[in-house]
Structures are given as structure tokens and as C-alpha cells.
Chains A and B, each alone.
Chain A
Amino acid sequence: MTQLYNPLTAKVPAYHLIGDQKLTDGVGTLAVRRPSDGQTHSDLPEANAEIVDRAVGAARAASGVWATMKPRQRGRLMRAWADLTDAHRDELATLEAPVSSLP
């Protein structure tokens, strides 16, 4: 079988994303394993109450702008997101496949 990509080379985004902030605070870290070879792929921070509180706060703060935006404009931004998702297809696959059961 040919190797589709090297599971070890992907730069792993092991953080929370709150608003536009990448955060790694929390109660500790978890080890994320690769089911295909049983090895540890990356550590992962585990959120605590403060991190969850900040995330919910960020969502609440964005709620006004987002809910009152013209619906057609919301749709435009979502389509732009979909286009970027397609453009980053291989990158997303190499982030997902090593730690999941999905080729």
C-alpha cells in the first residue's frame, strides 16, 4: 500500500480557539493517539471553567453582530468559508486522518 502522506509532518493546532485567540490554558493536557499505530500524536490542552466561560462570553459578544447582520450577507460569508474549506481540503484531511479511524 502506498503512503498518502506522512502522519508525522502535519503541524497540529492543539489549542482552543476563542474569538480569534489561540489559547492553551486549562486544567492539564491529554495525549491524543493515532489509532493506526498506537503512538501519541500530540498533546491537547483540556479546558477549565475559565476557558469555557471565555468561549461562551466570546460567542455571546459576537451574537449581536451576527444575528443582526443581513441574512444575505451571512450567506455570503458562509459561502466564502465553504470555498476556503475546499481549498484547504488536503490540509484538513492530514489533520483529521492520523488521529481518527477515517482514511
Chain B
Amino acid sequence: MATAAEYLRFYAEWCDKLEGSVTASGDDAVSLVLREAYGVVAVITPWNFPLILSTWKIAPAIAAGNTVVLKPSELTPFSMVRLAELALEAGIPPGVVNVVQGSGAVVGPLLTCHPGVDYVTFTGSTAVGGRIMADVGRTALKPVSLELGGKSPVLVFADTADMDTVADHVTWGITRNAGQLCYAGSRLVVDARIADDLVARVAQRMENLRRGPTWASGVEMPPIISQAQATRIDRIVQQTLAEGAGRALGGQVIEEGGGLYYAPTILTGVTPDMIGFREEIFGLVLTVQTFGTETEGIAAADHPVYGLTASIFTSDLNRALRVAKVLKAGNVWVNRWGRTADMMTRPFGSFGGSGFGKEAGRQGIENFTRQKALWIDIGLETVMGHQVGPDGARLRG
């Protein structure tokens, strides 16, 4: 909640700080590049962080002068309606923030393909992102920005100073919201010499998580959002085990008090041919890959589809920068995993199948503007080497 409010404040300040530019034109003209709002932006957001992920889009979109129609996830539809009512109470004119309810399958295409919608922004799965692009492409062409799935590596080198700190980050990276997070650090890629030690430390932290309903205090492991997700997580884990991965921890669905949880799971010896490597799991499942050399580590961290975030743990600054520069990821963290509110100053976005378009920072608001190049002839003519105005009088030269 605090983050959603801070995000609104951050972009409130950007309203009067967007800038266009003036380009080279010669003396007889002025060349301006103006930024303007698109108009109506369709915003479609997921269930895992409803208020925050919706505000990430709505705040910069309206700060730039657009109006929005939001379709929140049909699983978590209520908080955003209330937030939109608060916009009215704050004096934002009716119609600037609208909310329509319903499933992505039914309402999604009605909204994205509506001829009155000028821009579509979506956070969710890579499969649905692709469908939105196809739908929009078949109807009326309009820009689309997508923040999609991930399979983000946490790359740990043997020269890392403090293994307990690394274990804390790795654990938080996969346990936050029970792994139901687009940029979850779901792949531990670790130097083989320290792999057993680090996996043991992470396993010790993961197995002691307190699970419980979202209305209980002290819960570290919230439930899985739906039966369908629980089934999917378990299917991927069982198939990965059948393909030869080892199991260091977990590996089953737990039902408790009517809620579904996935036992914190660590799969070792995972290789690129296994489903647990290829597919986003979106649950509390950490896969482990090991490497020998730095080059092998970089290769193991790479994913053929996804490129959302990556973490690098090392005490060697040159190595950190070398590796950061070659990793395919829109966001790279060194000696940490995860975002904080302080990172709203910088663009968050993806490479490859994780999507495109930036959120947060200056780029986040520029994303919701289009640029208009304006050229103005100002009535100066050059006559016999002199510049003269419309009345023929010599102005210069």
C-alpha cells in the first residue's frame, strides 16, 4: 500500500517535468520534438501484486495526460475499484480512471481491440502477452507494452564473501509471495565448489517458513492463488524429477485449512533439457545449476526465452561488471536480490520473451507519451548571401 502511494507521488512530480527537445534545423526554421499523451490507455494487471502492479502503470499513464481503463485480474478485483474511487474523492475528474471487471479471456480482447483504445499495457504471463499482441495485430494496430514471465538466475561465485547473506537473498528471492512473482530468483546458478554448502543453508531457511492464511500475522508462506496453479507447479516438479533432477527439499502440494501450499522445494542438478529449466513455475520451487568457470556460469545463467532480472554475487568488482554486461536481463543486481521502493527511479523492464517497455523512472512515463516532430519555417530567406525577412529587409549577414 505504502509503495502504491509513493508511486503515485513519484509520478505526480513528473507531471510538469516531462520534456521534449529542439533539434538542429538551420537558421530559417525551428525544429521541435513535442511529447503528448496517447489518449486512452488499456491497463490489464495480474493477481500477484494487484495494487502495486496496477499503480505502476496507472500513475505514469495519467501523469502524462492519458486516461485509463483498467481490467484487474478477476481473481483479485476489489482493491483497485476502491483505489479508483479514492481518485474521484481526491478530485481527479470522473473518467480519468475507470475499472471494468471480468476474466482476461472474455473482457481482455473486448478492451484491447476496442477502436477507442490507443495504447495497451499488460503485466502477466508470456502466453497471454503473445495473445494480446496477436489480437491487437489482427484488429487495429496500436502500441503494446508487456511485462511478462521470468526465469531469473541468481549467479553465485565462489569468491563471495558471506554465504549467510547470500543464502538470505536466495531464500527471499524464491519465497517472496511463495514464488508467485514475475522476477522471482527461481534459478540458483552456483559454483560447484560451494554448491552443497549454499544449498544446505538455503534449505534450512526454506523448510522453516510459517505457512498460513493471508489474514494471519507472521505468515512467511502464503497460499497458492488457485487449484490450477497448484496442479501446474506440481506437474512441472514431478516431470523434472522424472527427467533426472535431484530433490534436496519438498516436492508436494500441502492442503491446510482449505488453502493450497507448495512445500518449499529445491531441485538439484537441473539442466537445460528439463522442463523445470525451460518453463516458468511461479511457485516455491528453486532449481539449482552448477558451473566450473566464469564462462560456464554465464552460459548456465542464460535462458533461451526469458530475460527479466539477474543477480550476481561476487566480491570481485571487475567480474561483477563483466558478467553484468553480458547477461540477458533488463535488470541486474549485484550482491543482492530484489527491488526496493528506492528503485522506482530506474526503469524496470525485460529482454526477450519477458516482454518490452519500461516501467518506473523517467522511462516509465515516457513510455506513455508519443513524440511529435514539429518543423516551423520562420520566413527567413537567404538573398545574395544575406538573410532577409518577409518584407525584403536585411536581417543578418
Contact = CB atoms under 8 A, between A and B. Distances in A.
A101 B178 contact: yes
A75 B60 CA distance: 11
A35 B78 contact: no
A37 B259 contact: yes
B67 interface: yes
A100 B76 contact: yes
Given A4-B217, A63-B67, A85 B4 contact: yes
B30 interface: no
Nearest to B106: A46
| Highest count of chain B CB atoms <10 Å: which of A65, A88, A100 | A100
Interface residues of A, number: 80
Contact of B215 (A48, A67, A71, A97): A97
A62 B1 contact: no
Nearest to A10: B78
A75 B15 contact: yes
A1 B212 contact: yes
Given A56-B117, A103-B214, A81 B92 contact: yes
Contact of A95 (B82, B107, B226): B82
Interface string A39-67: 10010111111011101111111110111
A100 B75 contact: yes
Interface residues of B, number: 89
Nearest to B259: A36
A36 to B, nearest CB: 3
B65 A74 contact: yes
B9 A49 contact: no
B149 interface: no
A62 B94 contact: yes
B82 A75 contact: no
Interface in A1-34: 1-7, 12-20, 26-27, 30, 32-34
Given A66-B96, A80-B90, A93-B1, A38 B215 contact: no
B102 interface: yes
Given A52-B107, A56-B117, A101 B12 contact: no
B92 A78 contact: yes
B67 A60 contact: yes
Contacts of B225: 35, 100-101
Contacts of A39: 258
A5 to B, nearest CB: 6
B62 interface: yes
A79 B81 contact: no
Interface stretch (B45-53, B266-274, B334-342): B45-53
B185 interface: no
Contact of B101 (A16, A60, A103): A16
Contacts of B304: none
Contacts of A3: 215-217
Contacts of B114: 52-53, 56
A99 to B, nearest CB: 5
B224 interface: yes
A37 B213 contact: yes
B321 interface: no
Given A63-B66, A92-B1, A95-B78, A1 B91 contact: no
15 contacts: A1-B210, A1-B212, A3-B215, A14-B78, A16-B99, A19-B94, A52-B107, A55-B100, A59-B68, A59-B69, A59-B95, A66-B67, A78-B12, A82-B12, A93-B1
Given A35-B222, A72-B15, A102-B49, 4 more contacts: A7-B213, A38-B258, A78-B90, A92-B82
